[in-house]
Every structure is written in structure tokens, then in C-alpha cells.
Structure 1
Amino acid sequence: MTSDRIPEGVGRTAIGVARARARESARPDRLFEDPYAAAFVAAAPDGPPTVPRTEVSPARVALARHLVIRTRFFDDYLTAATRAGCTQVVVPAAGLDTRAFRLDWPAGTRVFELDTPAVLGFKERVLAEQGAQAPVPRTTLAVDLREDWAGSLVEAGFDPAARTVWLVEGLLVYLGPDEAAAVLGTIDSLSAPGSRLALTHGFNSKEQRRAGTSQVVEGIEWGPDLAPVVALWRGGLDEDPVGWLNRRGWRAEWHDRAELAVGYGRPADYVTSQRILVTAER
């Protein structure tokens, strides 16, 4: 029987992401609105505790702001990709993502969300309690991304011949180099011409991986409030993802999050200038 409680480890970090999205959604100048994020937080009383603002570390603030910018950027990217002809949206390690419900999808779009049974069980319970209804067909698939999941995705109705946009958000850092390469390799094998891909890449050197530091909050010391999250990081892809993708026939590029923030109307020092968001087109 599938549990409806948020699991320990990586699954629980999804509550932290939901909290950041809920706080942004409550701002009058919000960059996006996630109507279900607060419900996820409220439904997980054993999730990450709320930290008084006076005790929030600079690293936690930086990470939350990063989550805001990447959420808005990927919202725009997915919407543009589907309007340009990608009829399938696939989100490996979807966590508590609610884009299937809150974005304006073109008719004919189909969304696939992949994650562990425990995460999906919790997510579906909360969404059902909220009466959430996706405007387009949505398929959830319980898989282990460290194993062979391509066949399960196809069996669930995914069409490898159709143009697809993939979102690999906040996943690779929790995988080892070989596992991260395997996930991207599977995506590569399932992507028809015209497909698109967006991902986050938070490490840029072997030294950073060994030290447990990250581009996400470069130059800021981790506080004890984020130690449980940092302990889960395994480094991700062991090379430049843009080069990795380009060698396989993609046209990939980096995006600087500080430039994005300014474009969204946030102050120039809202986030540090780091190229950790990647998009690619086949």
C-alpha cells in the first residue's frame, strides 16, 4: 500500500521547495502563483520546521531566492516549448511540482510526472483534498530513476516519436556522476527531433563536489539549517552539461540567473550571478 506521508531524505526536501514557492506566491509582486504549495507544507507537520526570520542563514535565503528564479524561468520555458509544438511534458523527479495544474497549456498537451511511490502518494492525497483538476491529461509514474525507466514511461503512453519538453529540476545533484549521465542518456534516447530540455546544474568542479559546496550559493557558508540537505548531495554530472548535450546533437546553452532576476524585476543583488540553468533543443 502506498504511503501518503512525505518520505525521509530527498523526498522531504520537496517540502522545502514547496515552502519557498508558497512564500513567493503570497507576495504582491510574485513571479508565479502556486495555489497548492502552502497545502503541501501544511500537510507535512513532520517536514522541515519553520525557522524564525531572525535565525534564517544567508545560505537559506540565497537558496530560496534561487528556487524562485528557477521556478519562474522553467515556467516560461515549458510554456514556450509547448506553444512551439512540444506535445509532451515529462518531469523526472517531479516532487511536489504543480505545473500540470497551474500553467496555461495548449490543447493537446500531455504531462508525465515521475517520482517515487511515497512522494507521489503524499502529493496525490493533498491534491485530491484541494480538489485540484489538471486542464490537460496528466500521468503519474512511480519509478526509480536510478534504474531502467524508459520502458515504463512508454507503457504509460509516452510517444518517443513526438516532440517532448523535459524538465530536470533540482535532480542531478542528488545523483552520482554515472547515475546522472544515465538519466540524461535515457532522455536523449527518447527525444525526437524538435524536443527540448531544461535542467539545473549546481556544481562546476570536482573540488566543489568533494567539499560539498555549490554554485547555488557560491561564496556563502552553509548554516546548520541546511546541513541535512547538503548531506544528500552526490554531485551530479561529472562534466559540463552543455558540452555533454552538444556532443549528442543538442544545441545547449547556459543562462545566468542574476540576469534573469533583473529581467523579472528583482533587484540586481537578489541572487548572485551564476550560470546554473541549462536549456537545450534537439
Structure 2
Amino acid sequence: MTADQQWDIVSGVGVTALAVAAGRAVETARPDALIDDPYAAAFVRAAPSTVPFPLTPEELRERSGPEEQWALMNAYLGVRSRVFDDFLLGAAREGVHQVVLLASGLDTRPYRLEWPEGTRSFELDQPLVLDFKQTVLAQEGARPDCRHTPVPVDLREDWATALDSAGFQASRPTVWLAEGLLPYLPPDAEERLFTEIDRLSAAGSRVAVEYILDVGTELSDSLLRDGGSELGIDLPALLPDGERRGLAEQLSALGWEYESRSAHESARLHGRPLDPAPPAAEKVRHVFARRP
């Protein structure tokens, strides 16, 4: 993926946002749902995609072949969404009222979560992705539960200036979220991301990150690769090459205190063990850090 490549909701990384929205729709329709996203299915229905994403558990069970991997991934997506929902709301309820969602995709946390009074949220993503999302939300009559500002920007560029121009206040503690983002950033962009987060974070700020160990090796998993192809996702074209410094090393060097747990540990905490698990789950970590 080149530095100047942009994408909408049915191209590039945008396709993965559509797939994740479908996963949240399936989770929402479960009788034991971990999240409630009333807008997820509307995004999938509104997108001009040729991929027949399942939107309910019943549709998901009808799938077979490589798409069984998509069924396994759906189970993880429900857990992941709940884990980061709880982290963000927990921080906000403890007084961290400035929220930044990095590469928010088609998630609707400013609309679907009950935020404490005084919360201000910013969500950053590609302009065409945010345009599509805001159009669908307007059609659905959605209203945010907090003061909310979309920031159309490419995270490989000067996103910090765009965030500052949108009204972000670096003097206030902030809770940041990087969910499903890091594998799509080149190594140098990932380093800049955390350097900027550190620069913009007042004492007491927090960050949650989904981190995948050895991202490049995931492409050697034929089930994952073939499953992506069935859904119209060319994983090799989306994941940049290059050696990456470990996330623990990056955060420690910046002076952040952190803890992490595996995707399996997160799933067990929410009573939703990943058994069987999607191929990548063994290498997924949920990382939570705080700036002293």
C-alpha cells in the first residue's frame, strides 16, 4: 500500500471496516450479545459491495468452506468490541472526558455508548470512510451521546495537526483507542503514532491497543489468507512490510505504564471462550497503558 493511496468503504482497508461492521451486526443479533450496535447492519446494507456479508447468527451459520474462518473471526470481534467499550467507558467514568478513536472505521461508539456528561470525542479516519458513515447515521436518525467531532485525515500523514484544529486540548487527560489499526501502518508510521500520542497526552491519559505479534507471519496462514479472499479482502496488499519494534518497548521508552492480556484471556473474562479460535487469535494482545 503506497503512502498516497486513499480508500473508501469498498476498497483497500475500507473493506475491512465493512467486514467488522458486519461482525458487530451479527454480535448485536445474538441472544447473549456482548455489545449493542443498532447501526452496524445499516452500514453493510448501504455499501455498494458485492460481498454478501452475513448480518445475523443464522446467516453466519449458513456459511461453509473458507468462510468458516469468518464465523470464527466474528466470535472474536464481539469480544474485542466489548473489551474496548469497557476500557473507554471506564476511563470516562473516572474523569478522563476526552476520547480519541484512531482509525474508527464504521464503529459508532460516540452514538451507541452511554457517556458521562462532559465527554468530548474525536474520531479519525479516511475522509471517504467518515463521509459514508455520517451519511448513513444521518439517514438512521442517529444522535451522538456526547460532544462528537469527526476528523477526516490519513493516519500516515500529519493527523495531530488535524486533531488540534478540530478542538482537541492536549492539556486535558485523554483516552486513546487504536483498535484494528496497527497492522495497516508502516513501521515508521506506527512509531510516529505513539510518539505523537505521548506528546499530546497530559498526565493520567490512557491508551488501549490491539496488538498482533509478528504481523507478517499471518500471511503464511492459508486459511486466513483464503478466507480474506472469499470476502474480497486482499490481505497481502494491505499489510505493509518492514521490521517493527515491539509495542512494550515503544511504550516503555516513552514512560508509559502498561499491561496486556491475550485475546483468549479477554474472551474468558467475558464468558465467551474462543473455542475454536480464529487463526490469528493466538498472537493477538490487548494492551492497556497509562501515562503517569
**TM-score, normalised with respect to structure 1:** 0.89
Match runs of 1:203-222 below 5 Å: 204-205=213-214, 209=216, 212-213=219-220, 221-222=223-224
Partner of 2:252: 246
Partner of 1:182: 192
Task: Say if 2:71 is the partner of 1:69.
Answer: no
Asked if the contact 2:218–2:224 (Cα under 8 Å) also holds between the matched residues in 1, the reply is no
Asked if the contact 1:200–1:278 (Cα under 8 Å) also holds between the matched residues in 2, the reply is yes
> Aligned partner of 2:37: which letter?
D
Which runs of no fewer than 5 residues in structure 1 stay unpaired? 214-218
Q: Alignment partner of 1:166: what SS?
A: strand
Quote the Cα distance in structure 2 between the aligned partners of 1:129 and 1:121. Answer: 12
Q: Alignment partner of 2:83: what SS?
A: helix
The partner residue of 1:262 within 260, 264, 268 is 268
CA RMSD across the alignment = 2.1
What is the aligned residue count?
270
1:172-195: CA deviation from partner (whole Å, max 9, x where unpaired)? 101111111111211111011000
**Alpha carbons of 1:144 and 1:62: their partners in 2 closer, same or farther (altered >3 Å)?**
same
Quote how far apart the aligned CAs of 1:225 are.
3.2
Quote the Cα distance in structure 1 between the aligned partners of 2:100 and 2:243. Answer: 20
Quote how far apart the aligned CAs of 1:72 are.
0.6
Greater share of residues in helix: 2
Quote how far apart the aligned CAs of 1:212 are.
2.2
The partner residue of 1:276 within 270, 273, 285 is 285
Task: Say if 2:116 is the partner of 1:106.
Answer: yes
Partner of 1:169: 179
Q: Alignment partner of 1:140: what SS?
A: strand
The partner residue of 1:14 within 14, 17, 22 is 17
Percent identity reads 44
Quote the Cα distance in structure 1 between the aligned partners of 2:42 and 2:200. Answer: 34
Quote the Cα distance in structure 1 between the aligned partners of 2:19 and 2:50. Answer: 8
**Alpha carbons of 1:223 and 1:182: their partners in 2 closer, same or farther (altered >3 Å)?**
closer
Quote the Cα distance in structure 2 between the aligned partners of 1:48 and 1:173. Answer: 23
Which runs of no fewer than 5 residues in structure 2 stay unpaired? 1-7, 55-61
**Alpha carbons of 1:145 and 1:106: their partners in 2 closer, same or farther (altered >3 Å)?**
same
Quote the Cα distance in structure 1 between the aligned partners of 2:22 and 2:84. Answer: 18
Quote the Cα distance in structure 1 between the aligned partners of 2:96 and 2:53. Answer: 39
Match runs of 1:45-194 below 5 Å: 45-46=48-49, 48-50=51-53, 52-194=62-204
Quote how far apart the aligned CAs of 1:50 are.
3.0
Quote how far apart the aligned CAs of 1:243 are.
2.1
Quote how far apart the aligned CAs of 1:62 are.
3.0
Quote how far apart the aligned CAs of 1:273 are.
5.0
**Alpha carbons of 1:273 and 1:209: their partners in 2 closer, same or farther (altered >3 Å)?**
closer
Quote the Cα distance in structure 2 between the aligned partners of 1:151 and 1:22. Answer: 34
**Alpha carbons of 1:210 and 1:265: their partners in 2 closer, same or farther (altered >3 Å)?**
closer
Asked if the contact 2:26–2:74 (Cα under 8 Å) also holds between the matched residues in 1, the reply is no
- 253-262 vs 190-199, which moves further: 253-262
1:186-205: CA deviation from partner (whole Å, max 9, x where unpaired)? 11110110000011112x23
Quote the Cα distance in structure 1 between the aligned partners of 2:107 and 2:159. Answer: 20
**Alpha carbons of 1:82 and 1:30: their partners in 2 closer, same or farther (altered >3 Å)?**
same
Quote how far apart the aligned CAs of 1:250 are.
0.4
Partner of 1:41: 44
